[in-house]
């Protein structure tokens, strides 16, 4: 009797007729089932987000009230941290230490954007003549479509949702098919924090089905995508048809440049940590080392020692440095 993680639309969990298996990458075991969203669920979620944006007071709500809700979300996340950490370890293969850090950073992110709701949101602009008055006001964009990857699921969800909500937008979130668990669980936490229904809608599913449908939906005002460059290009192409604004955070190839006068211990540690964090599954992983030639041999020998001390093992074990 396996748990089925469901979509969260208009404040309620739904779906689960069509499902796919969720695997623990460290063991290969199936840890649950996820509802498999199609264009129908995406379109429904976008319609709810659009209607909520246009017919409720959310967009015009006093920023302090929105900030209080965001702070509540951070509080609920901290209360549920132990459970969220265990889910992230099993679903994403994170070491328990990394998962703890991620859940806390996610809570800090909700707090940070709660504070930003207090910031001034307009500007008075310089004009050529004293009898003119020119000003800019900032307004929410509308419905934000969010597609996040499998490497830092909970923190990336916070980094995309929290600013969207702080500014008075509504959202449709599509987590990666490899790591849908904490995104689905977040739905219940949002209800617990008192967030009005319809503001955040979460649809689980594959990129080809759910992700593509979200990218192509003409009722979405902005698309936010973190993932591979190849899929980012597809999102941008789908968005172009509707002239939808996009923000893409894609893969990179990051170099560590190490000069002879660097703090050697610090440089060795950051070189090792930079490419091993979360098994190297990081868009800013330091996957190349450019080392000044006269320290090359001694540096490589220290790095080798450092690598040999890395403990690979069960990510749920406190002593493990590197999971699957």
* Residues designated catalytic: 249, 283
3-state helix, strand, coil in the chain (%, to 5): 45, 20, 35
Give the whole-angstrom CA distance, residue 309 versus residue 16. Answer: 44
Tokens 């941008």, located at residue: 236
CA distances to 51, 94, 143, 172 from 57, rounded to whole Å, are: 11, 39, 15, 18
Helix (H) or strand (E) holding 162: helix 153-166
Euclidean distance between the first and final Cα of the chain, in Å? Answer: 26
Residues 190 and 200 sit within 8 Å (Cβ to Cβ) = yes
Tell me the three state secondary structure of residue 284: coil
Residues 162 and 113 sit within 8 Å (Cβ to Cβ) = yes
All residues at 6 or more sequence positions from 147 whose CB lies less than 8 Å from its CB, including other chains: 174, 207, 211, 214, 215, 223, 224, 225, 226, 227, 235
4 HSE (CA, 13 A, CB side): 16
Tell me the three state secondary structure of residue 252: coil
Listed residue (202, 277, 290, 215) closest to 245, CA to CA: 215
Listed residue (113, 19, 132) closest to 69, CA to CA: 113
Give the whole-angstrom CA distance, residue 75 versus residue 285. Answer: 31
């Amino acid at each position: 009797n396996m748990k089925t993680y469901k979509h969260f639309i208009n404040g309620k969990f739904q779906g689960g007729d069509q499902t796919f298996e969720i695997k623990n990458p460290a063991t290969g075991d199936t840890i649950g089932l996820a509802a498999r969203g199609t264009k129908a669920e995406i379109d429904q979620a976008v319609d709810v987000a659009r209607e909520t944006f246009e017919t409720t007071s959310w967009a015009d709500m006093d920023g302090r009230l929105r900030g209080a809700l965001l702070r509540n979300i951070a509080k609920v996340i901290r209360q549920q941290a132990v459970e969220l950490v265990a889910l992230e370890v099993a679903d994403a293969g994170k070491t328990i230490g990394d998962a703890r850090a991620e859940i806390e950073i996610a809570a800090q992110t909700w707090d940070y954007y709660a504070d930003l709701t207090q910031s001034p949101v307009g500007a008075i602009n310089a004009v050529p003549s004293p009898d003119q008055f020119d000003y800019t006001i900032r307004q929410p964009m509308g419905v934000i479509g969010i597609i996040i990857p499998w490497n830092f699921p909970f923190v990336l969800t916070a980094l995309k949702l929290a600013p969207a909500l702080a500014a008075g937008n509504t959202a449709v979130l599509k987590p990666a098919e490899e790591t849908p668990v904490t995104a689905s669980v977040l739905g219940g936490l949002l209800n617990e924090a008192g967030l009005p229904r319809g503001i955040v809608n979460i649809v689980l599913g594959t990129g080809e089905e759910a992700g593509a449908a979200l990218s192509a939906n003409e009722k979405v005002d902005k698309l936010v995508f973190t993932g591979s460059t190849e899929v980012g290009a597809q999102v941008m192409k789908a968005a172009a048809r509707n002239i939808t604004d996009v923000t893409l955070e894609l893969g990179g190839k990051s170099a560590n440049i190490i000069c002879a006068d660097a703090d050697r211990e610090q440089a060795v540690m950051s070189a090792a940590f930079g490419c091993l964090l979360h098994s190297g599954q990081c868009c800013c992983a330091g996957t190349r080392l450019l080392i000044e030639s006269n320290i090359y041999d001694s540096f490589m020998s220290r790095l080798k020692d450092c690598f040999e001390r890395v403990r690979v093992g069960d990510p749920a074990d406190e002593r493990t440095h590197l999971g699957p």
